[in-house]
């Protein structure tokens, strides 16, 4: 998918930088991964399991899973029904088990058990989309990458960084408005922000440190003001 170049004004650049500066002040500027792993293939499996599932649940499952399946080869040769039982609580276990086995077979026979760092090679693996590929590239190979999960998608739209709904289009939008050196940090910080303050069910807009920079909140405030003025007439 070819990215459409966006024209970004100086004022908008300054607003975006203020958002990033405040995220740095409020959250960590250290790289960290919320999925427990000891190597690249473990993170690949964990990320595949995290689709439509919380990181906390995945970490509970992989604690035993990685003791049972201790190598790429072990996963590649796993019994499908048995693996389904092992990962049942992560949801969508039929597809996840099938994709994990196929993916590990590809790693074993095409890459000698090693996880590639090329985006095209990664997304060619069974069950691996751009989100999963970028998790691997960012956390394992430290390649600047944007991971569009549910938090990044929702909050980036609220902030006015994108108007898109498709994750790949959002990724390209964010790559244009966020400095490359901040891509991985943005992923980490926005996930934390989405879990703690800007939650999907009850965002704490009043106490949010980004409320004066958030386009969604500013639009709501403007709407409230107009309604109050109309009521006072």
Residue at token pair 């990962």: 87
Q: Among the options 86, 96, 106, 131, which is catalytic?
A: 131
- Using alpha carbons, select from 136, 141, 128, 135 the residue that is nearest to residue 102: 128
Token pair in block for residue 196: 């703690």
Residue 169 annotated in active site: no
Selected catalytic residue, list 106, 149, 153, 158:
149
CA-to-CA distance for 68 and 74, rounded, in angstroms?
9
Which token pair is 36?
């427990």
Query: And the tokens for 166?
Result: 């498709």
The residue whose two tokens read 């473990």 is 42
**Residues 173, 6: contact at Cβ < 8 Å?**
yes
SS3 53: coil
| Structure tokens belonging to residue 145 | 């990458």
E strand or H helix at 185: helix 183-196
Q: Mark whether 131 is an active-site residue.
A: yes
CA distance 78 to 53: 22
- Catalytically active residues are 131, 149
């Amino acid at each position: 998918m070819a990215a459409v170049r966006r024209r970004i004004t100086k004022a908008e650049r300054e607003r975006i930088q203020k958002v990033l500066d405040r995220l740095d002040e409020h959250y960590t500027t250290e790289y960290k991964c919320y999925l427990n792993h000891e190597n690249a293939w473990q993170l690949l499996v964990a990320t595949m399991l995290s689709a439509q599932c919380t990181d906390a649940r995945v970490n509970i499952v992989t604690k035993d899973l990685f003791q049972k399946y201790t190598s790429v080869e072990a996963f590649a040769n796993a019994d499908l029904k048995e693996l389904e039982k092992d990962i049942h609580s992560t949801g969508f276990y039929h597809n996840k088990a099938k994709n994990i086995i196929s993916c590990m077979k590809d790693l074993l026979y095409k890459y000698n058990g090693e996880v590639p760092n090329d985006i095209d090679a990664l997304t060619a693996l069974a069950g691996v989309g751009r989100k999963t590929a970028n998790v691997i590239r960012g956390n394992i190979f430290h390649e600047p990458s944007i991971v569009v999960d549910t938090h990044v998608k929702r909050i980036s739209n609220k902030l006015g960084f994108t108007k898109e709904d498709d994750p790949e289009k959002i990724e390209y939008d964010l790559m244009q408005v966020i400095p490359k050196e901040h891509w991985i940090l943005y992923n980490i910080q926005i996930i934390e922000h989405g879990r703690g303050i800007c939650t999907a069910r009850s965002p704490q807009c009043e106490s949010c440190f980004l409320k004066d920079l958030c386009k969604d909140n500013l639009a709501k405030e403007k709407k409230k003001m107009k309604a109050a003025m109309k009521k006072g007439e």
